[in-house]
Amino acid sequence: MKISTTPRNKIRLWAVLVWLLIWQAVSMCIGQEILLVSPVTVVSTLFELAVTGEFWLSIASSMLRIVGGFMLAVVLGVALAGLSAASVRLRELLLPFVVTIKSIPVASFVILVLIWVSSRNLSVLISFLMVFPVIYTNVLDGISQMDGQLLEMAQVFDIPFGRRLRSIYVSQVLPYFRAGCSLALGLCWKAGVAAEVIGIPQDSIGENLYNAKIYLDTPRLFAWTLVIICISVLFEKGFLKAVDCLVRRLERMG
């Protein structure tokens, strides 16, 4: 089965430039950078931050926790989806948990979880909780939508399990997995940083956002927001590119 991995919603440079010009124009019209800082000032502030060790330490600490929560959710989501596809009881057992996590607002989750874990580990757990239902549901849907006749044919011709897993199960479920990751990657960064802003762990992006808000340092607030956007986009593109490479490799092998 041919799997299309061509990006449909590619961001164009001209569109970004138009929005930056609009931002600059509105900032100049307002004339008060405490309300809306200009993109030029944001970039200048970002360069000032980038030469400090605290800047990179905060990024590394937040990335380690948020990406750790994401990867843990991916591994458990895929594993439990596979087990749930084979066990109706397990699927029924996990359904209330998945539905509950999907329904509860992030802020409520963060405040509740702070009762049980330290602020330093908060973003790991919140990222995990936001990503797990998406990966689990998508992979489970992918398994349930598999071609039954293809599976029956593989069984009739006694195709080895390893080849069956690679050529049938993985290749047909990967598009669902990729779609889930694309959605979950954005969620994990938004939820993870929100958790840090509320929990305020030391040496984190959330702590810097909180301090910028407290001291009405709008340039730093926008600069750190830009950092979050860049990290989120780069990590998403890198992770999805790795998934796409796996898809192409499976297509060549199968």
Encode the chain (254 residues) as per-residue pLDDT tens digits: 444 444 556 778 888 899 989 999 998 998 888 888 999 999 999 999 999 999 999 999 999 999 999 999 999 999 999 899 889 999 999 999 999 988 888 888 888 888 888 888 899 999 999 999 999 999 999 888 776 666 566 565 556 555 666 666 677 788 889 899 989 998 899 999 999 999 889 999 999 999 999 998 999 999 999 999 999 999 999 999 988 887 777 666 65
pLDDT at residue number 5: 44
Please, how many CA atoms are within 13 Å of residue 178, restricted to the half-sphere of its CB? 21
pLDDT at residue number 31: 84
Contact 185, 235 (CB under 8 A): yes
* Residue 211: burial class (beta carbons within 10 Å; 0-12, 13-18, 19+): middle
Contact 199, 114 (CB under 8 A): yes
Structural domains of the chain, ranges and CATH numbers in brackets: 42-253 (1.10.3720.10)
* Residue 91: burial class (beta carbons within 10 Å; 0-12, 13-18, 19+): middle
pLDDT at residue number 170: 73
pTM of the model: 0.85
pLDDT at residue number 105: 85
